């Protein structure tokens, strides 16, 4: 697992209070990990802070799964 992937997963585990095993690439924040609209906004903010990047709102809308988040951050770095 890449450094970015492990840091993304750590944020998700912390913020959503889910088990690490549930945080797989295909997992959807809302459908699988119990996030609501406020949780997903907070997750995006945490990614921005952790990786020192800006994720515009129109891009954030396309980040719905763990894998999509990792992919976006890897390409943005």
Partner 1 sequence: MKLRRVVVTGLGALTPIGNNLKDYWEGLKDGVTGAAPITHFDASKFKTQFACELKDFNINDFIDRKVTRRLDKFSQYAVVASDEAIKDSSLDLETIDKSRVGVIWGAGIGGLETFQDEVLNFSKGDGTPKFNPFFIPKMIADIAPAHISMRNGFMGPNYTTVSACASSANALIDAFNYIRLGMCDVVVSGGSEAAVTMAGMGGFNAMHALSTRNDSPETASRPFDADRDGFVLGEGAGALVLEEYEYAKARGAKIYCEIGGGGLSSDAYHLTAPHPEGIGVIAVMQNCLKDAGISPEEVDHINTHGTSTPLGDVAELKAISTVFGEHAKDININSTKSMTGHLLGAAGAIEAIASILTLVDGIVPPTINHTTMDDRIDAGLNLTLNNAQKRDVKVAMSNTFGFGGHNACVLFRKIEE
List the catalytic residues: 36
Q: Does 16 bind partner 1 (CB under 8 A)?
A: yes
* Residue 24 found at the interface with partner 1 (CB under 8 A): no
From 2-10, 19-27, 44-52, 60-68, span contacting partner 1 (CB under 8 A): 44-52
- Is the distance from CB of 29 to CB of 43 less than 8 angstroms? yes
Torsion sign over Cα 37, 38, 43, 49:
positive
Q: Binding partner 1 by CB under 8 A: which of 24, 28, 30, 45? A: 45
- CA 48-5-63 angle, to 5 degrees, is 55
């Amino acid at each position: 697992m890449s450094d970015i992937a492990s840091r993304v997963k750590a944020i998700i585990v912390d913020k959503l209070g889910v088990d690490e095993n549930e945080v797989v690439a295909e997992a959807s924040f809302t459908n699988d990990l119990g996030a609501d609209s406020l949780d997903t906004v907070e997750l995006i903010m945490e990614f921005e802070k952790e990786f020192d990047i800006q994720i515009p709102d129109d891009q954030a809308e396309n980040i719905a799964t763990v894998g999509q988040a990792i992919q976006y951050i890897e390409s943005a770095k």
